[in-house]
Structure 1
Amino acid sequence: MPSDIIPLRESQLTIDDDGVALFTHQRPAARNALSMELRADYRDMLAHVESDRRVRALVLTGAGGSFCAGGDLKAIKERQAGNDADQRSADAMRRRLQSTHVWMERLRSLEVPVIAAVDGPAVGAGFSIALAADFILASTRAVFCMSFAKIGLVPDLGVFHFLPRAVGLPMAKELALTARRVSAAEGRQLGFVHTLHAPEALLPEAMRFASRFVAGPREAMGLTKSLMNKSFETSYATLAELECSAQAVVSTAPYHEAAVEAFVRGEPAAYDWDRSAG
Structure 2
Amino acid sequence: MTELHGALRLTYRDDIALMEMIRPKQYNPLSNDLKAAFDEALRTLEKRADLKGVILTGSDGVFSAGGDLKAMHADHQAGTYGGAEDYLTRIRQGHAWLRILRNLPVPVIAAVDGAAVGAGLALALACDLVLITERSKFGAPFCKVGLAPDFGLMYALPRTVGLQRAREMFYTGRTIDAEEAIRIGIGLEIVPHASLMDRAWDMARQMAQSSSAAFSLTKQISAQAMESDAETLLRMEQQAHAILLASRYNAEAAERFTNKEPLRFNFT
User: Do these two structures clear the TM 0.5 threshold for a shared fold by scoring above it?
Assistant: yes
Q: Structure 1 stretch 35-44 or stretch 118-127: which is displaced more?
A: 35-44
Structure 2, unpaired ranges of 5+: none
Aligned partners of 2:38 and 2:244: how far apart in 1?
29
Partner residue in 2 for 1:263: 257
Deviations 1:79-119 (A, max 9, x none): 111144xx141122222111211111221111111111111
Residue from 108, 111, 116 that aligns with 2:105: 111
Matched, 1:216 2:207: no
Q: CA deviation at 1:218?
A: 0.5
Matched, 1:197 2:191: yes
Whether the 8 Å contact between 1:146 and 1:180 is mirrored in structure 2 is yes
Matched, 1:8 2:5: yes
Q: CA deviation at 1:48?
A: 2.2
Partner residue in 2 for 1:234: 228
Query: Percent of aligned positions with the same letter in both sequences?
Result: 35
Aligned partners of 2:13 and 2:50: how far apart in 1?
9
Residue from 152, 171, 179 that aligns with 1:177: 171
Matched, 1:40 2:40: no
Aligned partners of 1:185 and 1:258: how far apart in 2?
41
SS at match of 2:29: coil
TM-score between both structures, scaled by the size of structure 2: 0.96
Q: In structure 2, give the amino acid aligned to 1:75.
A: A
Whether the 8 Å contact between 2:56 and 2:110 is mirrored in structure 1 is yes
Whether the 8 Å contact between 1:79 and 1:88 is mirrored in structure 2 is no
Q: Structure 1 stretch 121-130 or stretch 194-203: which is displaced more?
A: 194-203
Aligned partners of 2:79 and 2:150: how far apart in 1?
26
Matched, 1:49 2:45: yes
Aligned partners of 1:192 and 1:83: how far apart in 2?
37
Whether the 8 Å contact between 2:46 and 2:100 is mirrored in structure 1 is no
Moved beyond 4 Å, runs of 4+? none
Q: In structure 2, give the amino acid aligned to 1:7.
A: L
SS at match of 2:10: strand
SS at match of 1:21: strand
Deviations 1:190-245 (A, max 9, x none): 11201112221111111112211011001100110110001111122222112211
Q: In structure 1, give the amino acid aligned to 2:150.
A: D
Cα pair distance change 1:68/1:88, threshold 3 Å? farther
Q: CA deviation at 1:141?
A: 0.6
Whether the 8 Å contact between 1:80 and 1:88 is mirrored in structure 2 is no
Partner residue in 1 for 2:27: 31
Q: In structure 2, give the amino acid aligned to 1:130.
A: A
Q: CA deviation at 1:140?
A: 0.6
Whether the 8 Å contact between 2:28 and 2:63 is mirrored in structure 1 is yes
TM-score between both structures, scaled by the size of structure 1: 0.93
Q: CA deviation at 1:267?
A: 1.3
Structure 1, unpaired ranges of 5+: none
Q: CA deviation at 1:265?
A: 2.4
SS at match of 1:111: coil
Q: CA deviation at 1:53?
A: 2.6
Q: Structure 1 stretch 233-242 or stretch 68-77: which is displaced more?
A: 233-242
Q: Structure 1 stretch 263-272 or stretch 58-67: which is displaced more?
A: 263-272
Q: In structure 2, give the amino acid aligned to 1:166.
A: T
SS at match of 1:249: helix
Partner residue in 1 for 2:114: 120
